[in-house]
Amino acid sequence: MSNSRGYFMKDEESMMKRRMVAWLAALALLCAIGHVARAEDYPALRKKDTLKIGYTVPDLTNESHIRNYNQVVAECKKRGWELIQDTNATYEGDKTRTSFQRILSQDPDAIILAYPDIPPINDLIIEARRKGVGVYSIGGDLAEGIVLHTESAPAVIAAKIMTYAIQRMNGTGDVSGFIELWMPRGFRRDIVAATLIEDGRWDFGPTEHHKLTPEGYTDEIFRVTSNWLTKYGNRMDFIWACWDLGAITIARAMAEKGFTKDDMFSVGIDGGSMSWSIIREGKIPFVASLAEPFEYMVHSTMEAIKQAHVDGVQPGDRNSLIPPTRYITPDNYCVIIDENNVPAIGTNIHAVFNYYGGNPDDKDAWYNWGEPYLVKESIE
């Protein structure tokens, strides 16, 4: 990897456009928060001693979804709550609506939407909220009718891992590539990462961009990366994708062309056994991943549900766990994992996050409920 490159003058119009898009993205988020209906616009949330929880997740094909789901199951079991679920809600509009309607028809007291596509179901969310059903989003978006949205803020975590990558390159490099995801939370990560390279006042050269399509995107990532490497060779220093599997696919294409982490690399976001096993082995130039505390996000949501639906502390009441913004983020618990701190096989997932400042030996602590997720040798 090059340690010294001449400063490349950027096209000012292009830079101004990217700044404008970044500002518009931030403004859109603020507007979304600002347009969320006030708590008093809806009836009080249902209050019961024992709750029925609805839960949807697009699939259980990746670790983030699996860990989210496992924590929901553990929390409901510990609290004695009934769980009704759809673990194949998908990202397709009609199927997403059908999934939500099926859950709502079973008369839940609260619904947790894990990584949802909000627009196709926003009217149904409002309908549920008007019935006193609390709708809670994890990893989606804050929208009208949602009582609480919890996520690792896309712009924040992208800035963290991208800054790590830049510092690993000593703030200087030649060509960088950005493979951009079509999902909103992906786009929000992508634009921040690219802006740091292109307009962050470091010493980097030209950039390439490619927007992914939903169908066959893993093969598309590999093909685009290979094409860039054919074009630039070892002038390429870094290629971005906003999640682990995408970044790992990039690194595999790099390795197939004969490049190592001393030549170029990729980084990812999510964390888990698959990414950590690859970092631990060091065979391909996937060098780091920002680990998200998925279990903590679920627990925070469950605590808010308990307080609102069991204890009767409504949103807006004094001491409510649900802030006026209806938005909480555990960004402070996110951890960048590289070859220097990669968790060993068998590590308790909560240890990765230092037990959130708690005592690991506290048997009553929420992170000791049920069987914890343990770091595995590898997951494909």
Domains in the chain, start-ordered, CATH in brackets?
42-152+294-324 (3.40.50.2300), 154-291 (3.40.50.2300)
Q: Has residue 30 got a pLDDT over 90?
A: no
Q: Note the pLDDT of residue 20.
A: 53
Distance between CA atoms of residues 8 and 10, nearest Å: 6
**Residue spans of beta strands (DSSP E) within 61-189:** 82-86, 110-114, 134-138, 146-150, 172-173, 175-180
Tell me the mean pLDDT in the region 183-201: 92
38 has pLDDT over 80: no
Q: pLDDT tens digits, residue range 42-101?
A: 999 999 999 999 999 998 888 899 999 999 999 999 999 999 999 988 777 788 899 999
How confident is the model over 358-377, as a mean pLDDT? 94
165-169, 254-258, 305-309, 374-378: segment of lowest average pLDDT: 374-378
Q: 41: pLDDT confidence band, cut at 50, 70 and 90? A: confident
Q: If pLDDT is split at 50, 70 and 90, which confidence band does 379 have?
A: low
- Mean pLDDT across 210-220: 91
pLDDT at 18: 53
Query: Shortest CA distance to 300 belongs to which of 152, 174, 129?
Result: 152
Q: What is the pLDDT of residue 380?
A: 58
**For 153, left (φ over 0), alpha (ψ -120 to 50), or beta?**
beta
Is residue 379 classed exposed, middle or buried when 0-12, 13-18 and 19+ CB atoms within 10 A define those classes? middle
Taking residues 180-207, report their average pLDDT.
92
pLDDT (mean) for 270-282: 96
The percent of residues in the chain predicted with pLDDT above 70, rounded, is: 89
* Nearest of 254, 290, 251 to residue 270 by alpha carbon: 290
Tell me: pLDDT of 103 over 80.
yes
User: Which carries the bigger pLDDT value, residue 3 or residue 196?
Assistant: 196
Say how far apart CA 166 and CA 185 lie, in whole Å.
22
The residue-averaged pLDDT of 188-206 equals 94
Residue 320 three-state SS = coil
Q: In degrees, to the nearest 5, what angle opens at C-alpha 100 toward C-alphas 99 and 101?
A: 95
SS3 label, residue 107: coil
Query: Which residue has better confidence, 206 or 37?
Result: 206
Percentage of the residues of the chain whose pLDDT score is greater than 90? 78
Mean pLDDT score of the chain:
90
Give per-residue pLDDT as tens, 104-118. Answer: 999 999 999 999 889
For 157-168, give the secondary structure using H, E and C: HHHHHHHHHHHH
Q: pLDDT digit string (tens) for 219-250?
A: 999 999 999 999 999 999 999 999 999 999 99
Give the pLDDT of residue 52: 98
Confidence grade of residue 183 (pLDDT, cut at 50, 70, 90): confident
- Please check the confidence at residue 256 and state whether its pLDDT lies above 70: yes
